[in-house]
Each structure stands twice: as structure tokens, then as C-alpha cells.
Chain A
């Protein structure tokens, strides 16, 4: 399949991703209610936005370091940004803000499904951008390989990711309807996405360091950081199931 890239549509889909993500978040907040007061909820959103901004650019810059220097000018000028950096940066910033404001409850569940669908919409822009966006896959002889303009059929990794994210959003939506520990929906969604990225990035032509690319290393770091709290959540869930039965 040959394809004509439209990199100009990337920011359009990015803006659409933010708008749709926020609309879904508001809808699910209205439907399921929110235990957090309004000011704390907005603090979490602000911390997540700023942390995501820092994280996505920082990891993007680290990826470019062999080609470019880490300067203030390069932080603002055209360059890479990564969703994994955004997710990890947002998560860390929210944890810091919660600690500063003495918020002890888990706050991310309402963001899990909106994030999945927002990223899926953003990935349409990545796909349409073609070779201008570093999200395409390695060459393939499979019948659905896409020629992004260089004459080589490649894995449409952006489309694989869209399918994965739709499946994940449906699974999380289903999980959310059953009794579960507070915070587990968000943590499961983040862990699932990071694990997915570790796997899918094996078919992306990115420079590797010790067998993995920088994003895969960041995902493994995120998974290791998440593991204790996920295990703790499931331990609590098992205890509550045993006590009710």
C-alpha cells in the first residue's frame, strides 16, 4: 500500500486528541462522580499537564542527544517528543503535587480511558505524517505493509497501536464497572501501555543501547516503579474479596 504523507495534519490530530480526551474525562466524571474536591482535581490536571510537557520533551531530547546538544534553545526549537515521556512525566508530577498538598487518595482512574482514546487519535496524526514522524515501523513483506514514500513497505506501527489502545480502553471501561481498588484502573492502563511500548518498539527502526532503544528503557523503568504499587493494590483487592466471601 503506497501512501501520501500529510505531516501538516499531525498538530490537528494532536489538538483533537486533547479535546476528545478532555471531553471523555468530563463525561465520565459527571457519570461516575468524583471523590476529589474541585480544587484538588484541577491541581492534579495542572500538574499532569506540566509534568507531561516536561517529560515528553526531555525524553525526546535525550533521544536526539547523539545528533544535537542539550541547550535551552533546542528545548523550544523543532524536535522530538514522546508519549512515554509525557505519561511518565505527568505521573511523577502528579505524585509530587499530591505530596505537597497532602492528598493521599489515588487520583488517576478518571484519566485512564480518556488517555487511551486521546493517544489513539494522536496516533492517526502520526500515521498521516509518514516518514516525518519517527513512529513508523521496520520494513516488512507482510501484505499490510505501508510504503510511507521511500518505496519500502513498513509495519504500520501507529495503526497497531491504535488497535491496541481501543482494545485497552474497552477492557478498562469493563474493569472500571466492577468493584476495584482506587487507583488500579490508571495503574493498570499505564502498565499495559508501557509493556506494549516495550514490545512494539522492537519493530521500530530506532537506535539501540544495550539491546533496547531509549523509550524501551524508559518503559522498563516506569514498569519497575509501578510494580510495587500494582502488587499492593491486588493484595488489597484479594483481602477485600476474602473478607466479603
Chain B
């Protein structure tokens, strides 16, 4: 009886990292779009929308940097 092949863990991790990177990149793009559109509204609406989209952009940027560092460490260290 043959043993089942072991699960390729590193491959699964790299898929997860790539998926997360794609999700954060798209979310950043959408938040930036929202931020740009907000500039067309009056200040009552635009100020909180711009703040919220800037916060989302910041979170996505940090997440992308962290993912990039993890990917770098996994591949080259």
C-alpha cells in the first residue's frame, strides 16, 4: 500500500500570500477610486470619505509591504 504524498505546504503558503497581495492591491485601487470621486462631493460628505479611503489605502499599503517582506524572506533567506 502506497502512502499518500505529503501536502506541499510551501506551495500553499505562496498561494495564500499571492492571493492576499492581489486582494490588497485591488482594495487599494478601489479605495483610491473612492477617494478621487469623493473630491466631487460637498465637504460634509467628502471629508469623511477621503479620510476613510486614505485609512484603507494605508492599511493596504502596509499589508502589501509585509507580504512583500515575507515573500522575500521565504525565497531568499
- Interface residues of chain A, those whose CB is within 8 Å of chain B, are 7-8, 10-11, 14-15, 18, 37-39, 42-43, 45-46, 48-50, 52-53, 56-57, 76-81, 129, 132
Residue of B nearest to A9 (CB): B37
A82 → B minimal CB distance (Å): 12
Contacts of B66 in A (CB 8 A): none
Contacts of B35 in A (CB 8 A): 76-78
Q: Is B30 a contact partner of A53 (Cβ separation < 8 A)?
A: no
A72 → B minimal CB distance (Å): 10
Complex Cα spacing A149 to B76, Å: 56
Q: Is B25 a contact partner of A18 (Cβ separation < 8 A)?
A: no
A100 → B minimal CB distance (Å): 8
Contacts of B28 in A (CB 8 A): 53
Nearest 9 A/B pairs, CB to CB: A42-B18, A49-B25, A46-B18, A46-B21, A78-B39, A78-B36, A49-B22, A11-B33, A7-B40
Contacts of B38 in A (CB 8 A): 78
Given A79-B36, A132-B37: A42 and B54 interface contact (C-beta under 8 Å): no
Sample 30 A-B pairs with CB under 8 A, ordered by A number.
Answer: A7-B40, A8-B41, A10-B33, A11-B30, A11-B34, A11-B37, A14-B30, A15-B30, A18-B26, A38-B15, A39-B18, A43-B14, A45-B18, A49-B21, A49-B26, A50-B21, A50-B22, A50-B64, A52-B29, A53-B28, A57-B32, A76-B32, A76-B35, A76-B57, A76-B61, A77-B35, A78-B35, A78-B36, A78-B39, A78-B50
Contacts of B14 in A (CB 8 A): 39, 42-43
Complex Cα spacing A50 to B36, Å: 19
Contacts of B29 in A (CB 8 A): 14, 18, 52-53, 56, 81
Given A10-B33, A52-B25: A39 and B11 interface contact (C-beta under 8 Å): yes
B37 → A minimal CB distance (Å): 5
Q: Is B40 a contact partner of A132 (Cβ separation < 8 A)?
A: yes
Contacts of A42 in B (CB 8 A): 14-15, 18-19, 22
A48 → B minimal CB distance (Å): 8
Contacts of A38 in B (CB 8 A): 11, 15
